[in-house]
Structure 1
Amino acid sequence: MSSAQDRLERMVRRVQAQARVPALAAALHRADRPLWTCQVGGTGNDTALGPDTRFRIGSVTKTFTSVLVMQCRDDGLLDLDDPIGRHLDLPAHGDLTVRRLLSHTAGLQREPYGDVWDTLRAPGVDELVADLARAERVLPAGRRYHYSNLGMALLGRLVGEQRGGTWAEVLTERVLTPLGLAATSVTPGPAAATGFLVDAYSDEAHPEPPTDFGAVGPAAQLWSTATDMARWAAFLADPAALDPAGAVLAPSTLDEMRWPLTTTDETSWAAGFGLGLILVPYPDRVVHVGHDGAMPGFLAAVYGRRGGDGTAGAMGCAVLGSAGTAAEVFELPHRLLAAAAEHDPAAIEPWRPGEPAPAPLRGMLGRWWGEGFEYVFSWHDGTLRARGADDPAGKPPAVFAPLPERPDVFRTVSGREAGELLRLTRDEHGTVVRMHWATYRFTRHQETFDRYDFRAG
């Protein structure tokens, strides 16, 4: 075992011991290393704890349901701004949009009508819909983040209706099977850990009752292994590496899901929420993307890592525990990802010469001025790019794509001013003498808005 792996194992063992977790399983997936796993403790039953042990992953299930919704959108079955009532016959709240429900900004109450957590009896599909008129709109739509299992349950029903099957059937066919997540299922299977409540003032661990979430299953039903969940986390962070053909979801759609739409806590701004995904920012432009999960007797945290020095491709981590109150489980995958990037960083790829810029663009590369600030336009990896001259090294550049039907016009496809046009203007000799980016004028020398050239001044 390498020293880096030994460090990760000690981190897992420390949390298991200090947080008193009967069974703790962790896995780290990355494109440049073999899968790393670690299990500590016992299942609490007559099965052995190992890489194949399944745990309840709770609300990590929501990330799967969200991907299914985005598949429907990409296939033209719905629009994110459609009211859900356009696709489901609902007695109330049909005006809430798919986007609001995905981002937990619909204002719908947290749970289905009734005392689900007292009875541990979740409603069936018909009951869930019938009782919807008794569920409250606790906040105005779009006002702020308010977590709702009920909202996600409705999205699961939406997916089943659009695909002509149950949510579980659609999930297996369209996500689990294509990504090889064979150990992820709606039932625990034969090799599952028992979930416990560990007494606060003694070492007693009391088993929690098994639960089936029925129609609320799309919010919290799934069971899985740390191995499967580390792979899922890697997919959420770097889909092109695990699904190069985009059979499950296009990378651009995952980009959309990872865009923060709200903050989960307006006092600390410690995390954001996109389309079904939690986004945890770190220094140096690092973000962890995924979700936490909690069910009676189980906690789970599943996150992929993007950005930053040392981060490998397809880097995802999962930590699953069989204790319902060991909050340290939620922090551990973030610490494991950071430690792996720091102490076992991805290799630095050597630079190699590439193809020259196309002849019509070579003369326009270099420094330009716009709005009083200096920018550098360059050609790298087959694309035209631009950066502010004073941008920090880790800030992504703006990247442009030509519009074939419009010579000397480009679309900004990422970075600063994404979506806006860049227009080149040439003189009678074909030299680019000025540009307009998002309608702002760019010139070779610093100018005021009324075109006073300081060089001539």
Structure 2
Amino acid sequence: MTAGTHGDQQLATRLGELLGPRHPIAAAAVVTSAGTRVASRATNLDANLDADYEIGSVTKAVTGLLYADALTRGEITPDTRLGELLPLADAPAARVTLRSLSTHRSGLPRLPKSARPWRRTLSLWRHGTNPYGEDVEQLLTQTRDVPLGTPRSRYSNLGFELLGHALARAADTTYPELIQQRIAIPLELDCFYVPRSADELRPGALNGRSRRGRPRQPWTGEGLGPAGGIRASITSMARLTAAILDGSAPGLAALDPVAPIGGRARIGAAWITVQVKGRPITWHNGGTGGFRSWLGLDRSTGTGVVVLSATAASVDRQGFALLTEHAGVSGR
């Protein structure tokens, strides 16, 4: 086996061809009817198949599964309002329905102004600092001052943060525990968790870097959790993908598109569906200060692909390419 690679050598080689030197630490999984293949490549030999990455907004897709599962359990309805689950008093956000949050049509902004997002972004660019870090109470305090805009398609990190914490309240637990109880433990995902602070990172947690190779702080924070706080290894992401494809994962109705979200794309509960070479592809991507991720499914052929990188440069194009290659083989 070539130094710096782990797992399936052929997949590791193809991953290197697709990503090139811009992504020195990366991993991929391919799930088909024939089985699952995983691979990682790294200049750092410690970045093996058990190393964990920030999956960023792919977390929203997982929160979408939890939303659909909570509907099935009868814990919520699509018309349940945030104020019924979270202590928002008479704040405008209290009127927002969980259904509208799940499809990014709540009228909430991407982030609350009181969080000073531009200042945080500048600090991230200059110093690599974590722009998040609020606990749930701080998040709710910020939310109480947020006005509602027109309920149209508008991507909102705030919306998914609130959705996930509302689902946890409906289940009388916390979001990190909800992930463990309903996703990680039932599906046997050994490395799939939501750290509330850097102190909770597991051994093997990778350090992310910017596109120019500068170190970035981990993106942790209790408030952030449901919108972008999950960390996972490629092996756990492969198991999650396989469980979605074989029907054993909870909340699979989340994948079914119910509303438009720009262009010809449609959205379910976070999951986006687009047409690629005449086939519907269901996917979500993610990005943090030092990581990028992509998870895509061709449900018609039972094929799934995950790409993770510890560099903040997009892997979307490469993920779509890898899925197209393998779905074409599976579909014959």
Q: Using structure 2 for the length normalisation, give the TM-score.
A: 0.85
Confirm or deny that 1:221 pairs with 2:218: no
Q: Distance in 2 between matches of 1:186 and 1:74?
A: 24
Cα offset, 1:10, TM superposition: 4.1
Cα offset, 1:149, TM superposition: 1.0
Q: Alignment partner of 1:155: what SS?
A: helix
Distance 1:102 1:239, change over 3 A: farther
Match of 1:274 among 259, 268, 271: 268
Partner of 2:60: 62
Match of 1:297 among 290, 303, 307: 290
Partner of 1:431: none
Is the 1:66–1:275 contact (alpha carbons within 8 Å) kept by the matching residues of 2?
Answer: yes
Give 1 or 2: higher helix fraction. Answer: 2
- For structure 1, which runs of at least 5 residues remain unmatched after alignment? 200-204, 348-457
Confirm or deny that 1:195 pairs with 2:208: yes
Partner of 1:28: 30
Q: How many residues align?
A: 308
Q: Using structure 1 for the length normalisation, give the TM-score.
A: 0.63
- 1:321 maps to a residue whose letter is S
Cα offset, 1:299, TM superposition: 0.3
Cα offset, 1:272, TM superposition: 2.1
Aligned pairs (5 A) from 1:46-445: 48-91=46-89, 92=91, 93-112=93-112, 113-116=114-117, 117-118=120-121, 120-137=131-148, 139-141=149-151, 143=152, 145-187=153-195, 188-199=201-212, 205-236=213-244, 238-240=245-247, 243=248, 248-249=249-250, 254=252, 256-266=253-263, 269=264, 271-284=265-278, 286-307=279-300, 311=301, 313=302, 315-324=303-312, 326-327=313-314, 329-342=315-328, 344-345=329-330
Partner of 1:445: none
RMSD: 2.3
Cα offset, 1:291, TM superposition: 1.2
Is the 2:107–2:154 contact (alpha carbons within 8 Å) kept by the matching residues of 1?
Answer: yes
- For structure 2, which runs of at least 5 residues remain unmatched after alignment? 2-7, 124-130, 196-200
- 2:150 maps to a residue whose letter is P
Cα offset, 1:157, TM superposition: 1.4
Distance 1:207 1:57, change over 3 A: same
Partner of 1:451: none
Deviation readout 1:208-248 (Å, 9 max, x if unpaired): 12231221211111111222213323333x242xx1xxxx5
Which of 1 and 2 has greater Rg?
1
Distance 1:128 1:345, change over 3 A: closer
Cα offset, 1:8, TM superposition: 4.7
Q: Alignment partner of 1:152: what SS?
A: helix
Confirm or deny that 1:16 pairs with 2:26: no
Q: How many percent identity over aligned positions?
A: 27
Q: Distance in 2 between matches of 1:317 and 1:207?
A: 27
Distance 1:41 1:16, change over 3 A: farther
Is the 1:24–1:321 contact (alpha carbons within 8 Å) kept by the matching residues of 2?
Answer: yes
Distance 1:9 1:21, change over 3 A: same
Cα offset, 1:9, TM superposition: 4.2
Q: Distance in 1 between matches of 2:75 and 2:330?
A: 42
Give 1 or 2: higher strand fraction. Answer: 1
Is the 1:301–1:319 contact (alpha carbons within 8 Å) kept by the matching residues of 2?
Answer: yes
Larger RCO (CA under 8 A, 6+ residues apart): 2
